[in-house]
Amino acid sequence: MGMTETAFQMCINPDCRSRFDRGQVLFKCPNCGELLDIQYNWDKIAVPDKLSSFAARWANRQNPLDFSGVWRFRELLDFCPDTRKVTIGEGQTILEQNCAVANYAGMNPDCLFLQYEGLNPSGSFKDNGMAAAFSHAKMVQAKSCACASTGNTSASMSLYAHTCGLKSTVFIGSGRIAFGKLSQAMDYGAQTIQIRGDFDDCMAQVQAVCAKLGLYLLNSLNPFRLEGQKTIMYRIIEQMGWSVPDWVVVPGGNLGNSSAFGKAFLELKELGLIQQIPRMAIINATGADTLTDLVNNKKLTWNDSRVDQKIIDRYYADLTARNFSPHTCASAIEISRPVNLKKCLRSIAVCDGIVRAVTDEEICDAKAVVGKYGLGCEPASAASIAGLKHLVEQGVIGKDERVACVLTGHPLKDPNVTVNYHKDSLGQFSNPPIEAPNDLDEIIKLIQQ
């Protein structure tokens, strides 16, 4: 199936490899339950013969698809007709060469580049994926959509949903709620259903409801979302003058980004559009370090698509037996059973990748440095800087290599962490407010100190 189309869906299980039409709404292989990939019939797509050809699109940016940081690379994710493509101006991001943060991480000053995904319309990288997934939703004529999330996903989904005229429903549990992000979902008009249960209960309910009512599911299983997230790498390459960095460093939570980035580089290499695939470092928080533990201690690998499921099953059974619940201030990566684990293992194989974990203290200090010397970021984003610092100290990343760190979300996404860090002088970069009497001379004295 699918050989006459530009794209099709395919199961990643090597013993299954079932193919499905791009117009089907699946999210998991109906034959074996594994993850699905979007694959392309490249000979049916007019892919430019060099990446710099995409630069011409910028001169035509009054066309919304050429303005979009996702769709100006549309030949590299050609799964739907232009008439169905959705954009709200996502992907107008900045890759900033930042000397001060480079210095903090132990790098040479001109070697560190920060990719600010917080500049997206809903304030996080999720908008890249939603532009792609909502285009698929429009292609299959979905009327309503849903996700379980209290985070960036619900914010991004709600924004794209009202733009596309879809009704959206966000499922949240009664556990910890990131109000900074949930506030966006409410403001963007999503229906919010709070279930008496935890996040796993929400995930189960949202899948059951979607199946029963035919709602379009926008959780992390959606393979079209990852196609949009590939473009973060294209934009890094674009802003580095159409050259690849030596390393990409990315926070690891549900592992959608690392999965998408590896797929992007693999495809670019196969198409002859890049010569060298960058190495990738994926950074967990120590309180949610499933990937680190599985890869570094349990020696789990992609193994040429034959991942040892027994290692994963044993690991998850142990988490259940210990009643383990992940804990980190970086709520966006507070995940112990990452949905895209196997695709991430593939990226590690493709990019000669490595995995590390960093403490909350290291995350908060790194976040303060990005705030003080850069454009700021949410806690999970700063894991990439904290991880880079480790890797430079360990000599894994050379201080003169060109490194792109992906900063996934805007600093205003999680103001509580920021305020607590500064006001209680918790870290080495804390900048607390100073109490002053209501007296001009005293105030002047404080400022001139």
Applying CB under 5 A, which residues contact Zn ion?
Answer: 11, 13, 16, 18, 29, 31-32, 34
Nearer to Zn ion, 39 or 359 (CB): 39
- The kind and range of the H/E element at 391 are helix 379-393
Nearer to Zn ion, 12 or 300 (CB): 12
Nearer to Zn ion, 34 or 238 (CB): 34
CB contact at 8 A, 277 and 351: yes
Q: Which of 258, 263, 259, 235 is nearest to 248 (CA)?
A: 258
- The kind and range of the H/E element at 423 are helix 415-423
Cα of first residue to Cα of last residue in the chain, in angstroms, is: 73
CB contact at 8 A, 181 and 150: yes
Q: How far is the CB of 29 from Zn ion (least distance, A)?
A: 3
Nearer to Zn ion, 11 or 274 (CB): 11
Please give the C-alpha separations between residue 444 and each of 434, 437, 438, in angstroms, as whole numbers.
13, 11, 11
DSSP for 164-213, written as a single string: HT-EEEEEE-SS---HHHHHHHHHTT-EEEE-SS-HHHHHHHHHHHHHHH
Q: How far is the CB of 32 from Zn ion (least distance, A)?
A: 3
- The set of residues, in sequence order, having a beta carbon less than 8 Å from that of 179 and lying 6+ positions away, is none
| Residue 170, strand partner residues | 147, 192
Report the DSSP pairing between strands 191-194 and 167-172: parallel
Q: How far is the CB of 36 from Zn ion (least distance, A)?
A: 8
Tokens of 346: 């593939």
Q: How far is the CB of 15 from Zn ion (least distance, A)?
A: 8
Q: How far is the CB of 227 from Zn ion (least distance, A)?
A: 19
Dist. CA 254–CA 378, nearest whole Å: 16
Sign, Cα dihedral of 225, 229, 230, 235 = positive
Nearer to Zn ion, 13 or 257 (CB): 13
Nearer to Zn ion, 30 or 432 (CB): 30
Nearer to Zn ion, 12 or 51 (CB): 12
Q: How far is the CB of 17 from Zn ion (least distance, A)?
A: 7
Q: How far is the CB of 37 from Zn ion (least distance, A)?
A: 11
Dist. CA 5–CA 23, nearest whole Å: 10
User: Would you call 398 exposed, middle or buried from its count of C-beta atoms within 10 A (0-12, 13-18, 19+)?
Assistant: middle
Q: How far is the CB of 12 from Zn ion (least distance, A)?
A: 8
Nearer to Zn ion, 29 or 101 (CB): 29
